[in-house]
Structures are given as structure tokens and as C-alpha cells.
């Protein structure tokens, strides 16, 4: 498909993190055990039956990815194979059909290519957010798996998730609500986890924090994750730690950061349960990480009625997180050598 090279006339530096309707979205339907070829649609609306399991029983999952413009103009995705794999894990958990990688990546690439004009230019600090989703549609009143499914990919240009540009220092408040049960759906990107988190986020905002921080729901002792990001910690004494839990989303960003930390920081890397109250005094730097959050240093955390601050009393970004951020973002934007082969170019012509 011929794609115009012209860009939309947007204030790229001031997009915020919100939905903007773009020109096209990709859609494929699963009926009688077969996925349709898929097509680009103009309308952002989905017409589904009122009995659709996605609406009643939250039989749906989704992904979050970004496309970025490199200095040489190439359009880069970051590790889309891991998003595809994670979507299929969620599909399996919710008894939905697998979306073959070929269909997943074609849907993502077609949606990105068709909306080339909406991809923020290099240097703007913005990116094209990509939202693949899989929903159970068709009529089905009983609690059974849907008989039809839609795989859809839409995109929207976005700025930073937290308001300030670049490396925003954020705060977290330990939630009194649980995000996910130990053998529940916490490790999957399914909508039900997020509806339950809305009130936790609001409560965190009321305390003056950017996000909720969840502890494990069995013991309320170990760090699970933040509302939309995993946690990484640079400990005093040199270890670089990420909380291990089978109830958290296996973040693509966090897995990449741990690899980069191992390759480029002179530190011992650990993926293990972290007892918040016992260990918080040993935290030198803490950060939240994810596709939307990128890497956001945590300046302070609200625990049991008081704030705990980290590096420089939460006033400045610490050297470890700055280094990890620079490495990660440099690779994602095509500025640094991609030695691990993580970026995936979407060819525009
Ligand atoms: C609950 C939760 N944890 C972690 C993440 C980070 O995952 P990823 O790095 O794959 O975007 C997300 C999504 O961005 C999320 O929604």
C-alpha cells in the first residue's frame, strides 16, 4: 500500500497519554475455528452483540506496545514477539483462541503503516502507542467461552504516561486493595485485573501518589507491582533487584532492563521476593517500568501511613536508573546498537 510521507500537524511535544483517533485499525474475526484474513477499517466503533462474553464476563485480553521513529527515519517496534507470546498466554488462560504470530505481527504492522502520518517524528519524545486486543463476541448468555472472537489493533500517538517529559520522578502508595489472587489472572494482561484496580488508583491519587503499589495478596508482605508497571530496585551495597511473583504481569520492559543491567551495570542481578517493610531501608533507588511508564524513578512510597523517600530524598534521578533509562530508550529509539536484536522495523513502503 502506498503511504503518504506527510505527518499530521500535531503538537508532538504536548500529546499527553490519551486516545486520539487515527485513520485505520486492523480487524480479524475468528469463526468456526478459523481466523479471517483481516482488514483495515475506518471506524473506531465495534458493534458487538449485547450477550457478548467480553461485556459480561470480561473474556478479553490486550497488549500495549509502542512504535518509535529512529534518527534515520526507520519505524521501530520493541520485542513484538514477547507481546504476541504474552497475548497467547492470556488467551489460553481465558479459553480464547491463539492469535498466530503471523496474524499478530501483520495486524500490528498494517495498523502502524496505515497510520504513518500519526507516528511522532524522531526527537519529539512521543511515540505511537499500539493496542492489540482480543475479545469474545457473539451471543452467549451462559458462562461459557464465546463462539466468536475479534482480534483488533488500533494505534494512538502518545506523549509520556506521567505528565512531565523525559524521566519523571513519581510516587507510589501501597494499596489496601488486592490486584490479583495468587493463582488468579495477575500474570496475564486481561481487562478484569484493571477494572479492579481503578479504585486503588483513585485512592493512591487521593493520597497524592501517582500510582498504587500492590503487595502480594496472600501475605501483604512482598512487593508485587504498581498499577501499570513492574518494579526495579537498586539496593544500597550494589545489588539490582526485581520482585519475583507469579501474580504480576511479566513486563517486557522489566525483562529487558534486567538483561541490560546484567550486560552493562557492574552489579549482581536478582529476581526474588522483596519484603517491602523489612527491605525498604536498603533501597537506594527504585523505579517503575513498563511500555507506558518507560522507566519512571520512584521518589517516595507511602507505606503504613508514612512516606519513605529514596535517592536524594526523591528530589533527583539516581545514577543507576538514569543509566538504565538511557540504555533502554537509546535502543528502543534506534540511537544505540541493538546487540540483542530487540528492535523490529516496520517497513513503510
Ligand atoms: C499491570 C502491569 N504491569 C506491568 C506492565 C509493564 O509491562 P510491559 O513492560 O510489557 O509494558 C504493564 C503494562 O504496561 C501493566 O499493565
Q: Which domains does the chain have, with CATH numbers?
A: 12-158 (3.30.470.10), 170-332 (3.20.10.10)
Is residue 1 scored above 90 in pLDDT? no
Tell me what pLDDT residue 165 has. 61
pLDDT tens column, 279-301? 999 999 999 999 999 999 999 99
Q: Distance, CA 162 to ligand 1 centroid (Å)? A: 14
Percent pLDDT > 70 in the chain is 98
pLDDT at 162: 85
Ligand 1 atom with the shortest distance to the CA of 83: 10
Question: Cβ(105)–Cβ(77) under 8 Å?
Answer: no
Distance from C-alpha of 78 to C-alpha of 17, rounded to nearest angstrom: 19
Looking at residue 349, its pLDDT comes to 80
Query: Which of 64, 79, 179 best tests ligand 1's pocket when mutated (most atoms within 8 Å of CB)?
Result: 64
Per the annotation, the verdict on 189 as an active-site residue is yes
Among the options 189, 219, 300, 323, which is catalytic?
189
Distance in Å, CA 3 to ligand 1 centroid: 31
Q: Which atom of ligand 1 is nearest to the CA of 249?
A: 3
Answer yes or no: are the C-beta atoms of 49 and 146 closer than 8 Å: no
Q: Which residues line ligand 1 (CB under 6 A)?
A: 64, 225, 228-230, 249, 251-254, 290-292
Q: What is the pLDDT of residues 175-224, one digit of tens each?
A: 999 999 999 999 999 999 999 999 999 999 999 999 999 999 999 999 99
Q: Which residues contact 291 (CB under 8 A, 6 or more apart)?
A: 64, 65, 66, 78, 129, 252, 253
pTM across the whole model: 0.97
Condensed to tens digits (0 to 9), the pLDDT of residues 13-72 reads 999 999 999 999 999 999 999 999 999 999 999 999 999 999 999 999 999 999 999 999
Confidence class for position 164, pLDDT limits 50, 70, 90: low
Cα–ligand 1 centroid distance for 301 (angstroms): 19
pLDDT of residue 2 exceeding 70? no
Amino acid at each position: 500500500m502506498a503511504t503518504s510521507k506527510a505527518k499530521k500537524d500535531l503538537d508532538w511535544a504536548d500529546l499527553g497519554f490519551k486516545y486520539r483517533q487515527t485513520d485505520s485499525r486492523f480487524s480479524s474475526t475468528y469463526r468456526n475455528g478459523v481466523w479471517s484474513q483481516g482488514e483495515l477499517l475506518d471506524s473506531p466503533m465495534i458493534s458487538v452483540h449485547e450477550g457478548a462474553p467480553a461485556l459480561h464476563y470480561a473474556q478479553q485480553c490486550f497488549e500495549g506496545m509502542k512504535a518509535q521513529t529512529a534518527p534515520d527515519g526507520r519505524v521501530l517496534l520493541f520485542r513484538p514477539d514477547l507481546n504476541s507470546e504474552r497475548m497467547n498466554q492470556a488467551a489460553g488462560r481465558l479459553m480464547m483462541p491463539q492469535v498466530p504470530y503471523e496474524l499478530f505481527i501483520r495486524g500490528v504492522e498494517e495498523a502502524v503503516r496505515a497510520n504513518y502520518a500519526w507516528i511522532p517524528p524522531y526527537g519529539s519524545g512521543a511515540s505511537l502507542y499500539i493496542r492489540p486486543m482480543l475479545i469474545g463476541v457473539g451471543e452467549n448468555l451462559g458462562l461459557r467461552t464465546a463462539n466468536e472472537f475479534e482480534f483488533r489493533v488500533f494505534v494512538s500517538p502518545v506523549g509520556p504516561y506521567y505528565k512531565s517529559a523525559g524521566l519523571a520522578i513519581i510516587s507510589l502508595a501501597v494499596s489496601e486493595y488486592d490486584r490479583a489472587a495468587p493463582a488468579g489472572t495477575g500474570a496475564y494482561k486481561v481487562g478484569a485485573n484493571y477494572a479492579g484496580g481503578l479504585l486503588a488508583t483513585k485512592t493512591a491519587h487521593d493520597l497524592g501518589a501517582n500510582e498504587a503499589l500492590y503487595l502480594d495478596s496472600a501475605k501483604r508482605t512482598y512487593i508485587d507491582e504498581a498499577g501499570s508497571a513492574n518494579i526495579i530496585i537498586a539496593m544500597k551495597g550494589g545489588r539490582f533487584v526485581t520482585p519475583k511473583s507469579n501474580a504480576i504481569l511479566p513486563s517486557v520492559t522489566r525483562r529487558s532492563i534486567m538483561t541490560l543491567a546484567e550486560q552493562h551495570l557492574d552489579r549482581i542481578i536478582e529476581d526474588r521476593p522483596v519484603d517491602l517493610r523489612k527491605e525498604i531501608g536498603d533501597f537506594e533507588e527504585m523505579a517503575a517500568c513498563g511500555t507506558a511508564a518507560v522507566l519512571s524513578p520512584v521518589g517516595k512510597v507511602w507505606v503504613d501511613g508514612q512516606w519513605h523517600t529514596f535517592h536524594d530524598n526523591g528530589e533527583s534521578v539516581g545514577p543507576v536508573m538514569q543509566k538504565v533509562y538511557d540504555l533502554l530508550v537509546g535502543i528502543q529509539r534506534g540511537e544505540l546498537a541493538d546487540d540483542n536484536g530487540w528492535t523490529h522495523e516496520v517497513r513503510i513502503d
